[in-house]
């Protein structure tokens, strides 16, 4: 694959992208192929990880061992390091503690001191510091439901949106550095019905058993939800990098599990994009988009077609 020219802003500096995620592994399961594409194009990418994933379950049977459970925080940090190297990104820990996913009826209370219960102002301040230091043009996070209703994902949304606003406010968190206006804010939009319908059809057409048939049978169409997608980034050439980063999170990803139930070439053909919703922008852009940096002023002659 021929390496594209560097993506540079109007000042001749590399474009910068900040992803905000709740746990280690989220950066690999949500938008990782887009990340890998932009890294290949010379974009600087930083992932801010809100928690250490300390209360995450062991989702790979091969890693469900007492020694892993006893050292889960350390192991998940090492997994994040491997995924970071595979994706070619920088990564920072915001330093909060995983809230866990409460289960039961009624749901048990969240543990004291966890991310979802920590003072929002403290959490926002830490992310504001990252934004002002890195100065991204583009930032991504989760929607108001967290992508799915995990308390840490919902809190990640709340922190991200508040920090997007506060980072540009000279009166907010003056100790966190010089104000910086992020030009565009996106929500990750990886799990939507239209995508799974396409993958389901492609599997059946290839004569393979689809892992999505049962799920789709009870998943009612929601046209308003689908309309939220504004931006589809072509990144099929980087799905293999995404898969490698996922496998690096060995406690969370079973290589024989559902993440890899659709063959790579079928996924590349049936749904070659990763999808996002543009929710804030200080620059003019035309929807739909195919680039998170659409509308960002760039160095003359250096923006990719």
Binding residue numbers for Zn(2+): 23, 26, 153
Instruction: Please tell me what DSSP assigns to residue 3.
Output: P
For residue 69, the SS3 value is helix
Cα–Cα distance for residue pair 230/288, rounded to 1 Å: 5
Cα–Cα distance for residue pair 85/263, rounded to 1 Å: 24
Cα–Cα distance for residue pair 234/232, rounded to 1 Å: 6
Tokens encoding 96: 């909060």
In sign, the C-alpha dihedral spanning 272, 280, 26, 292 is positive
Instruction: Please tell me what DSSP assigns to residue 207.
Output: T
The residues near 96 (Cβ < 8 Å, ≥ 6 apart) are 50, 51, 52, 114, 115, 118, 123
Q: Which residues pair with 45 in a beta bridge?
A: 17
Question: Which residue positions form the known binding site?
Answer: 23, 26, 153
Cβ distance 164 to 280 under 8 Å? yes
Query: How many C-beta atoms surround the C-beta of residue 135 within 10 A?
Result: 17
DSSP labels for 115-144? Answer: GGGS-HHHHHHHHHHHHHHH--SEEEE--T
Instruction: Please tell me what DSSP assigns to residue 60.
Output: S
Contacts of residues 146-149 at CB distance under 8 Å and 24 or more positions apart, as own/partner, are 146/22, 147/30, 147/188, 147/190, 147/191, 148/191
Rg (C-alpha) for the chain, rounded Å, is 19
For residue 195, the SS3 value is helix
């Amino acid at each position: 694959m021929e390496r594209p020219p560097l993506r540079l802003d109007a000042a001749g500096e590399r474009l910068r992208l900040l992803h905000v995620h709740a746990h280690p592994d989220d950066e690999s399961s949500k938008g990782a192929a887009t990340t890998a594409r932009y890294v290949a194009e010379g974009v600087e990418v930083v992932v801010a990880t809100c928690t250490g994933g300390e209360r995450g379950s062991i989702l790979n049977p091969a890693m469900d061992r007492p020694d892993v459970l006893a050292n889960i925080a350390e192991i998940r940090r090492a997994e994040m390091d491997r995924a970071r190297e595979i994706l070619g990104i920088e990564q920072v820990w915001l330093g909060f503690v995983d809230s866990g996913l409460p289960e039961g009826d009624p749901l048990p209370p969240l543990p004291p001191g966890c991310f979802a219960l920590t003072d929002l102002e403290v959490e926002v301040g830490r992310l504001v510091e990252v934004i002002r230091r890195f100065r991204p043009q583009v930032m991504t996070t989760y929607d108001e439901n967290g992508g799915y209703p995990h308390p840490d994902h919902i809190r990640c949304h709340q922190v991200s949106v508040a920090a997007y606003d506060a980072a540009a406010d000279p009166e907010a968190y003056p100790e966190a550095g010089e104000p910086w206006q992020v030009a565009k804010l996106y929500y990750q939009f990886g799990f939507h019905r239209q995508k799974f319908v396409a993958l389901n059809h492609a599997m059946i057409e290839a004569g393979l058993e689809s892992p999505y048939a049962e799920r789709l049978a009870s998943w009612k169409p929601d046209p308003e939800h689908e309309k939220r997608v504004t931006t589809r980034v072509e990144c099929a050439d980087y799905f293999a990098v995404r898969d490698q980063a996922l496998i690096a999170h060995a406690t969370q990803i079973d290589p024989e599990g559902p993440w890899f139930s659709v063959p790579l070439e079928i996924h590349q053909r049936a749904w070659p994009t990763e999808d996002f919703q543009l929710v804030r922008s200080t620059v003019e852009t035309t929807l739909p988009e195919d680039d998170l940096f659409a509308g960002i002023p760039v160095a003359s002659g250096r923006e990719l077609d």
